[in-house]
Structure 1
């Protein structure tokens, strides 16, 4: 049997593919290359160029490759863009996910892992935020992901279908072996932006908002290393295959760092000072979001191995340097 990885040519998806291969699994990738790159996918992995909302194509892929599980990463993820263009997010995230889930039901694929987000919490009432906290997204991005979670819940109640929805906090870093990382152009992820600026790929970077009710006035986030994140997916897959019930879990470390702290860490690791300007707050951003991670640790036996900001930055910077070398070839 094989595992379908949607968005497997993207940042997190390509790490998932490597993790599955390392575990002896057979991944199959579907990606429309809106943000992914074929060179991030190992040559031995079947790669289908398609949109996850293409019902007929996804059904054909499931049949052709004997798919027994789906790990769904494909989607749009930029919060400010979702505020400006909400229909794009309801199409790419919600509507496309609906078609993918329908293909699974039609073809008898009953194991599904969904890439959700801490954005479903909006501005949490209490921090760290646990999975039972009120769901009040501040952006169409968060709402589009929450709508997919609700679809999964309802489909699981009606069909032989079990799922795990993993609510990511802020994913960062790169494969410690340098095999894959974030190659997205015009990325908005803070650590990648800071690394690009340190290496001269950007003239400057911005801090969006310095008047939040946080220790230094800048937004606080829980940064999780991408390798630890995909390990949670692999463990979730194993749990579902051995009869685990449907579940929603946070994926974070339970510790937050401010924007200023992250920038300082990148400057320290790189040894490079770079220009930082102050900009207004962005629509849809929360002041402070940190995970309560007890559930994922308990249910999956998940033990992170890279839960250190300096390590995350070092891996991200090394990847960014490798991209620079690659682009000079």
Structure 2
């Protein structure tokens, strides 16, 4: 099978390439680095593709950044929306299958429990909103070109040397300034990048939109205790809700006065003290059977 992968040098992309190589697929990659088969910046130009592909896996996207300026907000649309459009325009021969990597941020929720794929797409921030628009574009393109499209909405990704919030959490615990709020029993959805990569060849022929999680949704305390134990450190302390709430109120006031985003404000407090979990039963009915994050610490803590 001839496959084209975008974002192959990224955290998830590397896992996707590893799985495709295991299956002995014939792989081309698009990227800005020297290792890419096709060197180009898809957010700025349409790639030149001379090959027909059976499968396209569009992993490339912008995430893990809180935009502070209009220019930074625009970058999300340049990469996630315009980049997707340029990839689709480059496909002179429509593939049989197109897999688009999206995010649970499309739901626009700071908290909630057991959220399924039919929940409203209410994201207003650039990351989630740009992914909503890209999802719609991919779906419409697939219908017009008789291509089976699959959209995978992912939560926090786990694996060795992870990006984003997980990396920040690990660093904070190692430097001994991380703390849990209250009992630290708030649960969040997450999933191994390697499990997502392994599921793509299975689900691509069926098509559809799927949330993918590990099904367990670990709590902050479970994660922080695992990280501390792995590094032979004391378990992180817990601070009462009331104290952190006061810190959040102070941060909110400072933020309004200075117009600078504070590390703790009312919204951040809500995110840290309320659950955000997603339902993956739809994928499980089609063979999704991932590993539990909390039961496989060596798969994400072997730094």
| TM band (smaller chain) | 0.7 to 0.9
Q: Are the aligned partners of 1:118 and 1:250 in contact in 2 as well (CA < 8 Å)?
A: yes
1:73 to 52, 59, 67: 59
Q: Are the aligned partners of 2:108 and 2:123 in contact in 1 as well (CA < 8 Å)?
A: yes
Q: Are the aligned partners of 1:216 and 1:258 in contact in 2 as well (CA < 8 Å)?
A: no
Give, in angstroms, the shift of residue 126 of structure 1: 5.0
2:74 to 70, 76, 87: 87
SS at match of 1:127: strand
RMSD value, Cα: 3.0
* Partner in structure 2 of residue 8 of structure 1: 8
Distance (whole Å) between structure 2 residues aligned to residue 67 and residue 262 of structure 1: 41
Distance (whole Å) between structure 1 residues aligned to residue 301 and residue 7 of structure 2: 23
Q: Compute the TM-score of the two structures, normalised by the length of structure 2.
A: 0.79
In the superposition, relative to structure 1, how do residues 83 and 71 fare at CA in structure 2: closer, same or farther (>3 Å)?
A: farther
* Partner in structure 2 of residue 188 of structure 1: 164
Q: Are the aligned partners of 1:193 and 1:205 in contact in 2 as well (CA < 8 Å)?
A: no
* Partner in structure 2 of residue 309 of structure 1: 294
Distance (whole Å) between structure 1 residues aligned to residue 97 and residue 173 of structure 2: 42
In the superposition, relative to structure 1, how do residues 256 and 138 fare at CA in structure 2: closer, same or farther (>3 Å)?
A: farther
Matched, 1:169 2:159: no
* Partner in structure 2 of residue 298 of structure 1: 285
Matched, 1:252 2:213: yes
Distance (whole Å) between structure 2 residues aligned to residue 225 and residue 125 of structure 1: 21
In the superposition, relative to structure 1, how do residues 310 and 269 fare at CA in structure 2: closer, same or farther (>3 Å)?
A: farther
1:227 to 194, 197, 200: 194
Distance (whole Å) between structure 2 residues aligned to residue 145 and residue 127 of structure 1: 21
* Partner in structure 2 of residue 52 of structure 1: 42
* Higher deviation after alignment, 281-290 or 81-90: 281-290
Q: Are the aligned partners of 1:78 and 1:141 in contact in 2 as well (CA < 8 Å)?
A: no
In the superposition, relative to structure 1, how do residues 309 and 217 fare at CA in structure 2: closer, same or farther (>3 Å)?
A: closer
Tell me the number of residue pairs that the alignment of Structure 1 and Structure 2 aligns.
Answer: 276
In the superposition, relative to structure 1, how do residues 125 and 81 fare at CA in structure 2: closer, same or farther (>3 Å)?
A: closer
Q: Are the aligned partners of 2:112 and 2:277 in contact in 1 as well (CA < 8 Å)?
A: no
* Partner in structure 2 of residue 99 of structure 1: 86
Higher radius of gyration, 1 or 2 = 2
* Partner in structure 2 of residue 146 of structure 1: 132
Q: Compute the TM-score of the two structures, normalised by the length of structure 1.
A: 0.73
Give, in angstroms, the shift of residue 124 of structure 1: 7.2
> Where in structure 2 are there 5+ consecutive unaligned residues?
245-262
Deviation string, structure 1 residues 217-268 (Cα, Å, up to 9, x no partner): 686311211211111212123xx2xxx3x41011112332333432222112
Give, in angstroms, the shift of residue 193 of structure 1: 2.7
Matched, 1:269 2:230: yes
Deviation string, structure 1 residues 280-302 (Cα, Å, up to 9, x no partner): 14868854321211111113x12
Distance (whole Å) between structure 1 residues aligned to residue 14 and residue 85 of structure 2: 23
